[in-house]
């Protein structure tokens, strides 16, 4: 994955959703984005980490990676 501000700007101008991953979080916030992908969520601390980041930075996340049948219900709420 590559964070490219020009691509994000183009997507925003065209009304296309764009969701960079959390490693690019600061850059994404600077570009005005409010929804980020969080991958691999379970290996990075799961829902407690996502909730903390969401509260702290006013963001929403798309959970992905390492989610199992046993944990999927946690992320559907």
Provide the residue ranges of all domains of the chain, joining segments of one domain with +: 5-75
Beta carbons within 8 Å of 10's beta carbon, 6+ residues apart: 16
Q: What is the pLDDT of residue 47?
A: 92
Full pLDDT tens readout for the chain, 77 residues: 577 889 889 999 999 998 877 677 778 888 888 999 888 899 889 999 999 989 988 999 999 888 999 999 988 87
Q: What tokens appear for 44 in the block? A: 């990075």
pLDDT for position 11: 92
At 57 the pLDDT is 84
The pLDDT, as a whole number, for residue 51 is 93
**Residue 33 is encoded by which pair of tokens?**
């984005």
| pTM: predicted TM-score of the whole model, two decimal places | 0.67
């Amino acid at each position: 994955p590559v964070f490219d501000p020009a691509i994000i700007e183009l997507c925003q101008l065209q009304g296309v959703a764009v969701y960079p991953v959390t490693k690019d979080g600061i850059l994404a916030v600077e570009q005005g984005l409010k929804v980020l992908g969080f991958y691999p969520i379970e290996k990075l601390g799961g829902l407690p980490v996502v909730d903390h980041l969401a509260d702290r930075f006013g963001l929403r996340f798309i959970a992905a990676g390492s989610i199992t049948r046993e944990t999927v219900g946690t992320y559907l709420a």
